[in-house]
Amino acid sequence: MPIARAAASVNLDGFELRVLHLPLVSPFTTSFGTETVREVIIVRAITADGDGWGEIVTQQAPLYSSEYTHGAWDVAQRYLIPALLDAGPLAPEDVAGALAPFVGHRMAKAGLELAVLDAALRAESRSLGEYLGATTDRVPSGVSVGIQRDPAALVEAVGGYLDEGYVRIKIKIKPGRDLADTAAVRDAFGAIPLQVDANSAFTLADADTLAELDRFDLLLIEQPLQEDDLVDHAALARRLRTPVCLDESITSRKAAADALALGAASIINIKAGRIGGYLEAVAIHDLCRDAGIPVWCGGMLETGIGRAANAALAALPGFTLTGDVSASGRFYSRDIVTEPAVLENGHVRVPTGPGIGVEIDQIALDEFTVDRVELRR
């Protein structure tokens, strides 16, 4: 279902952007690198009726995608924010159109759109979940586990998350850290819901190795090949019994439609940041639901702002697979919202308050801020 009822327009007075450095509880390693501190941009939309909050999920370096923090910092101030401040009264549904002339930079656009959406919904006392079309009040919680020192350390890490109650495990893999890591987790924990994420680290020449993953009965393999490799993903999908799921390649609703038409994926990871916002996320959800394609909600180590919004998105009916919608404590010992998401019987609650439904912990926000700028109309 498209958005049932549009939100009212807001009169934007300006935006505040902050770069935050949030320490992670433990290093997070993927095929593209290791993070110990989450660098992220927090957006505050300043309106006559109050503030709205968003998050730009870029990482410090362009390793996951072409976007990165200081690129987003620049494009937001130089082009995107001026376009929004020039647009006059703006409904959340108009943000993407106002930013459409600027190619790419979807994470930056998504963070700005979320801030406008939050401001508009708070002004109407309407929750993001209700607005997007959520049909449940809590969502099952999966966890993304980084590459560890060795398979034994991975088993220990996974065991800890299972003890906490996470209902689905995703492990990161890369060439040379694939079959043995997956086998170790299967051997240790039996038939748990398990999937792997390669973050684009393989090529079609690795198809024989990837086909060996079939014996582990995985829920899916996520993004084995590069972002542009749709045709190769289709070729690989024909070789594997394990369903191929795309993350990095799905940059828009159009990219999702193309990937499905090519047979490059049978499952899609929806991340609002990667595709330019929560409205585009609903559009991909609707497309996949009509096509009978399961989707799940991915994550980008969000702070409590994006984490609350992701829980709302994951509560839409087409999200039939468990997402990377983990508790805040999975990544942070201190979050920037007053009630960080917690795990309750393997689930995370969908906030019901106005807008994203969480309040900012201003002291924590200030403490983690390393750069700040305000742009006024």
324 in contact with ligand OSB (CB under 6 A): yes
| Beta carbon of residue 276, minimum distance to ligand OSB (angstroms, whole number) | 16
Taking the least distance from each CB to Mg ion, the nearer of 198 and 311 is: 198
Backbone angles phi, psi at 33, to 5 degrees: 155, 180
Catalytic: 170?
A: no
294: left (phi over 0), alpha (psi -120 to 50) or beta: beta
The one segment of 99-107, 123-131, 231-239, 292-300 that binds ligand OSB by CB under 6 A: 292-300
Provide the β-strand partners of residue 16: 44, 374
The one segment of 47-55, 207-215, 295-303, 340-348 that binds ligand OSB by CB under 6 A: 295-303
| Beta carbon of residue 215, minimum distance to ligand OSB (angstroms, whole number) | 24
324 in contact with Mg ion (CB under 5 A): no
Q: Applying CB under 6 A, which of residues 39, 247, 280, 361 lies at the interface with ligand OSB? A: 247
Taking the least distance from each CB to Mg ion, the nearer of 142 and 357 is: 142
The one segment of 10-18, 299-307, 313-321, 345-353 that binds ligand OSB by CB under 6 A: 299-307
Q: Applying CB under 5 A, which of residues 118, 197, 280, 361 lies at the interface with Mg ion? A: 197
Q: Give the pairing type, strands 347-349 and 138-140.
A: antiparallel
* The residue type at 39: E
Q: How far apart are CA 289 and CA 321, in angstroms?
A: 12
Of the residues 109, 170, 172, 174, which is catalytic? 172
Q: How far apart are CA 331 and CA 329, in angstroms?
A: 5
Count of residues making up the chain: 377
| Beta carbon of residue 199, minimum distance to Mg ion (angstroms, whole number) | 6
58 in contact with ligand OSB (CB under 6 A): no
Q: Applying CB under 6 A, which of residues 92, 111, 140, 298 lies at the interface with ligand OSB? A: 298
CA dihedral 99, 105, 111, 116 (to 10 degrees): 0
Q: How far apart are CA 47 and CA 339, in angstroms?
A: 24
The one segment of 209-217, 251-259, 278-286, 298-306 that binds ligand OSB by CB under 6 A: 298-306
Q: How far apart are CA 11 and CA 47, in angstroms?
A: 6
- For residues 169 and 143, the answer to whether their CB atoms sit within 8 Å is yes
CA dihedral 316, 318, 323, 326 (to 10 degrees): 10
Q: Sign of dihedral through CA atoms 30, 32, 36, 37?
A: negative
197 in contact with ligand OSB (CB under 6 A): yes
Q: Applying CB under 6 A, which of residues 31, 251, 326, 328 lies at the interface with ligand OSB? A: 326
181 in contact with Mg ion (CB under 5 A): no
| Beta carbon of residue 144, minimum distance to Mg ion (angstroms, whole number) | 8
Catalytic residue numbers, as ranges: 172, 271
